[in-house]
Structure 1
Amino acid sequence: MELHMHSHHLERRLPDWPAAAVSGFAAGAVVMVLELVWSSLFMDTSPWITSRMVAAIVLGPDTMQSSTFSVGVVAVALATHYVLGIVLGLILAAIVAPFHFDSSIGMILLTGAVFGLAVYLFNFYGMARFFTWFNDMRGWATMVAHLIFGMSAAIIYWKLERPLGE
């Protein structure tokens, strides 16, 4: 009896780019809703603080001076958040496709979790050097949100991807 295991060796295989973009966008929406619910229900902070922090990447740190709702700030935060989500969805697909990490639901979820953890570390220990206002967000809740993002993007990509030629 032979045992056949999925080989996750590098192979020339292109991702399904539209599925990747949609998966990053959708996973970004999942995390954004979770963040708003979490900050509104369980934290004693304004739900708009995170929006201001994200918008400050584009508009500068003065954006965080207020904790009230602003349509302009939220619009910039949404645009920034979704563009980053799409870019990360594309990066995830570029990792998944050539290594066949989409071979099973377990493998795709594991890949998404590892990717989410890598994004968390990059954002909060790398990019936070340039955007210091994110240092205070380091912690288990933010890490879990990034794991959810990675796993959501991975599973959505897995469900949406189509083999080449279809």
Structure 2
Amino acid sequence: MKPSPSSPAEPVAGVLAGLVAGAAYLLAQMGFAATVQGGVGWEPLHRISAMLLGEGALPPPADIDLTIGGFGLLIHFALAINFGRVVDLLVRDRGLPAACLRGAAVGLALYALNFWVIAPALFPWFENNRGLTTLADHLLFGAVAGAAYVQLRAWLQMRRAAAPQNA
């Protein structure tokens, strides 16, 4: 079901799409850290939590405590929800292929902004993570957010249409 060109925002679909895409991104980052980099899968959560907790939360601890993990997840998914809403604005009137492409473009813009503008100014520990893998993970985030948004929006609209109208 393709939305009409004058479709209103679907905030629930944007939030849920951000959460789905955020989970895909985080799993990809954690898998890369644990396998290719030879580290531990928790390293991305350490870097993310250091945004609020400071550099003391940075790796190399092989284990993660609940504070670091909790803050990392909280920050990551709060950002993912907001970025899902951005994807909502850009893909709401598109079909699945165009939504994936536009979502990937959002991922590319987020990568450029986060790793080439914000990180050098505020969070220098992210500079070591610039590269093709992080770029690919951001493209993945955007494409998944676009695809999830289109599917969730259609599902929500069908449920709304099927719901009995209150008289």
TM-score range, shorter chain: 0.7 to 0.9
Q: In angstroms, what is the RMSD of aligned CA positions?
A: 1.7
Paired position in structure 2 for 1:31: 25
AA partner of residue 110 (structure 1)? L
Paired position in structure 2 for 1:18: 12
| Whole-angstrom CA distance in 1 between matches of 2:58 and 2:47 | 6
TM-score, structure 1 as length reference: 0.84
**What does 1:1-166 align with in structure 2 at a 5 Å threshold?**
12-64=6-58, 66-68=60-62, 69-97=64-92, 100=93, 102=94, 104-128=95-119, 129-161=121-153, 162-163=156-157, 166=161
| Whole-angstrom CA distance in 2 between matches of 1:66 and 1:42 | 16
| Whole-angstrom CA distance in 1 between matches of 2:41 and 2:61 | 8
Unmatched 5+ residue regions in structure 2?
A: 162-167
Unmatched 5+ residue regions in structure 1?
A: 1-10
The C-alpha deviation readout for 1:45-81, integer Å capped at 9, x for no partner, is 2222211110011111221164232121001000110
For 1:121, what is the secondary structure of its paired residue? helix
In the TM superposition, what is the alpha-carbon distance from 1:92 to its structure 2 partner? 1.1
Checking the alignment, whether the CA contact within 8 Å between 2:33 and 2:39 is kept in structure 1 is yes
| Whole-angstrom CA distance in 2 between matches of 1:132 and 1:21 | 29
TM-score, structure 2 as length reference: 0.84
In terms of fraction of residues, the more helix-rich structure is 2
